[in-house]
């Protein structure tokens, strides 16, 4: 289940086979020490969905200006210059210039310009609302992922302590059994506790990778550096 969730966060099929790089005790950070406000601001600058929403809003605002411009009178100035090398009537060359000023006024448009402007403004307001909602969602995504990563770090710390304790207990129990002062039941229980501690350590590291990847995804920069290798696609 956890491997499927990790693959899904990375944008890969849930059934893909991959390996997670082995992490030693010192490789896992004890605490997430980053500015959550800076992470949220980074996400607002890099999240593709938010960037697309911003671009859509800018396009709708530009549409308003374009519609307003179409509804206004337009003034156009044309200038031309013509030079004739030889004119029979004047027995010489002639240079003539023309300057034209044209005013175009939209007539018989009725309420169409007003309707187009109001429609463009309504679209811009809707896009602005969507952008603002997405900004709030982005901040919530980053905050939630950040808190989950902190929890995952704490779980790793706890699993490390549990593993060290279980390893020591297993060594002591096995030593007592070999010396003839312990019984097989205590030894087997200690070994079972060690196996459970190792399993919890593996699960905590996997959950940490999921949390770290989810945080990267929420910011808009998916960091899959923890993935050692992905299997090559099989040729059809």
Q: Provide the pLDDT for residue 16.
A: 63
What whole-number distance in Å separates Cα of residue 150 and Cα of residue 39? 14
112-116, 156-160, 189-193: segment of lowest average pLDDT = 112-116
Residue 212 has pLDDT above 70, yes or no: yes
Residue 167 has pLDDT above 90, yes or no: yes
Q: What angle do CA 198, 200, 205 make, to 5 degrees?
A: 95
Confidence band, pLDDT 50/70/90 cuts, at residue 194? very high
Task: Compute the mean pLDDT over every residue in the chain, rounded to the nearest whole number.
Answer: 76
Residue 15 has pLDDT above 70, yes or no: no
DSSP codes, 152-208: HHHHHHHHHHHHHHHHHHHHHHHHHHHHTSS-HHHHHHHHHHHHHHHHHHHHHHHHH
Percent of the chain with pLDDT over 70: 62
Q: Provide the pLDDT for residue 180.
A: 86
pLDDT tens, residue by residue, 19-67: 555 444 343 343 355 678 888 888 988 899 999 999 999 999 999 988 8
More confident residue, 173 or 71: 173
pLDDT tens, residue by residue, 101-135: 665 666 555 677 788 889 999 999 999 999 999 99
Q: Provide the pLDDT for residue 3.
A: 56
Residue 233 has pLDDT above 50, yes or no: no
More confident residue, 108 or 162: 162
What whole-number distance in Å separates Cα of residue 203 and Cα of residue 102? 77
Catalogue all structural domains in the chain, each as residue range(s) with its CATH number: 23-73+109-222 (1.20.1600.10)
Residue 14 has pLDDT above 70, yes or no: no
Residue 114 is given by DSSP the state: H
């Amino acid at each position: 289940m956890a491997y499927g969730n990790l693959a899904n966060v990375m944008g890969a099929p849930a059934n893909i086979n991959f390996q997670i790089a082995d992490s030693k005790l010192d490789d896992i950070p004890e605490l997430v020490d980053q500015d959550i406000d800076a992470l949220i601001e980074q996400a607002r600058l890099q999240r593709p969905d938010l960037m697309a929403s911003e671009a859509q809003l800018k396009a709708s605002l530009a549409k308003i200006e374009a519609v307003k411009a179409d509804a206004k009178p337009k003034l156009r100035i044309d200038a031309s210059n013509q030079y004739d090398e030889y004119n029979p009537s004047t027995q010489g060359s002639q240079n003539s210039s023309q300057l034209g000023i044209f005013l175009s006024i939209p007539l018989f448009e009725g309420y169409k310009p007003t309707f187009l402007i109001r429609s463009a403004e309504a679209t811009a307001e809707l896009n602005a609302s969507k952008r603002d909602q997405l900004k709030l969602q982005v901040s919530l995504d980053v905050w939630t992922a950040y808190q989950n990563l902190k929890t995952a770090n704490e779980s790793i710390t706890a699993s490390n302590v549990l593993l060290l304790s279980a390893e020591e207990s297993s060594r002591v129990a096995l030593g007592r059994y070999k010396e003839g002062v312990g019984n097989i039941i205590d030894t087997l229980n200690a070994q079972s506790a060690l196996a459970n501690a190792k399993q919890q350590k593996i699960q905590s590291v996997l959950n940490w990778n999921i949390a770290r990847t989810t945080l990267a995804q929420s910011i808009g920069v998916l960091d899959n550096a923890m993935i050692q290798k992905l299997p090559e696609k099989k040729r059809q």
